[in-house]
Amino acid sequence: MLASFGHLARGRGTLRLDSDPPPRYRLAMTGFPHDKMWRDRKRCDRARRAYDPAFDGVFFTCVRSTRIYCRSICRTTRALSKNIFFVPSAAAAERLGFRPCLRCRPESAPGSPAWRGTATTVARAVRMIEAGFLDSHPVQALADRLGIGPRHLSRLFQQHVGASPAEMAGTRRVQAAKRLITDTDRPLSEIAFEAGFGSIRRFNDAFRKLYQRAPSSFRRARTGQR
Ligand SMILES: [Zn+2]
């Protein structure tokens, strides 16, 4: 699953040159390297006060006075640093008798069983999109296949991927086409359909939107290098 996200990360990076990938995504790419971070009180407190989303699910904040625990990103926790401590999981907080915050819902933080369940659904969707499912089916059909509603699918993608299924399919199509343009001498019209574009116009539009360049410019660049 992480491999799929990594692949997507590259596509996403190209799509949005002006901004970082969304945080959850960054977390998925890095493969949760912060498993001991909760022991580092200063670092956790800094991340907590910055509401740094990169550490969502990496540690949880227990507030002694209220006996409530929160995600690191929770904006309702205004507790003083001396009144809190950090734990590595929601389960750890509950074992100590803390209740989950109703606002940030720590039981659904990244890495939690609920999150992993939805991540599995998203990973399945990602695999289907990468196999070209959305080139010949509407998003509704993808949702049907996964046994969830299209609105839920869209929410899950925003949460785990930071892009919609259609955007992801669009990125995949352009990348597939670009590879064929640079690696083969096949006619562009053939490549457009092979990569999953419904028409030449859409093929051209997608390249203009993403690269501000025509598809053919990638081929000229290749010839020039010879
Ligand atoms: Zn909270």
Domains of the chain by start residue, with CATH: 37-108 (3.40.10.10), 111-226 (1.10.10.60)
Give Cα separations from 123 to 5, 23, 106, 153, 172 (angstroms): 8, 17, 22, 12, 15
**pLDDT > 50? residue 42:** yes
Model confidence at 221, pLDDT cuts 50, 70, 90, reads: low
103 CA from centroid of ligand 1 (Å): 5
Residue-wise pLDDT for 1-16, tens only, equals 333 343 333 333 333 3
> Which amino acid, residue 76?
T
Q: How far is the CA of 150 from the centre of ligand 1 (A)?
A: 28
- The Å distance, Cα 214 to ligand 1 centre, comes to 48
Residue 119, burial from CB neighbour count under 10 angstroms (0-12, 13-18, 19+):
buried
From the CA of 40, how far away is ligand 1's center (Å)?
20
Q: Name the DSSP letter for residue 50.
A: T
Provide the pLDDT for residue 200.
94
Share of the chain above pLDDT 90, in %: 44
If you measure from the C-alpha of residue 199 to the centroid of ligand 1, how many angstroms do you get, rounded to a whole number?
A: 48
Mind giving me the DSSP string for 19-36?
SPPPHHHHHHHHT---TT
Angle at 61 between CA 57 and CA 63, to 5 degrees: 155
CA of 94 to the centre of ligand 1 (A): 14
Quick check: 222 pLDDT over 60?
no
Instruction: Work out whether the CA dihedral 97, 98, 102, 108 comes out positive or negative.
Output: negative
Tell me: the pLDDT tens digits for 135-161?
Answer: 999 999 999 999 999 999 998 888 787
Cα(198) to centroid of ligand 1, in Å? 46
Output the pLDDT for position 220: 63
85-141 pLDDT, tens digit per residue, is 999 888 888 889 999 999 998 888 888 888 888 888 999 999 999 899 999 999 999
For ligand 1, the distance from its centroid to the CA atom of residue 97, given in whole angstroms, is 16
pLDDT given for residue 226 in this prediction: 45
Region 16-23: mean pLDDT is 38
- The neighbourhood of ligand 1, an ion, using CB within 5 A, equals 70, 74, 76, 101, 103-104
Averaged pLDDT of the chain: 81
Question: What is the model's pLDDT at position 12?
Answer: 37
Tell me what pLDDT residue 38 has: 85
Task: Please tell me the distance between residue 68's alpha carbon and the centre of ligand 1 in angstroms.
Answer: 8
Structure tokens at 187: 């006619």
Tell the burial category of 94 from Cβ atoms under 10 Å away from its Cβ (0-12, 13-18, 19+): middle
* 24 Cα–ligand 1 center, Å: 17
Question: What does the pLDDT average to over 171-199?
Answer: 92
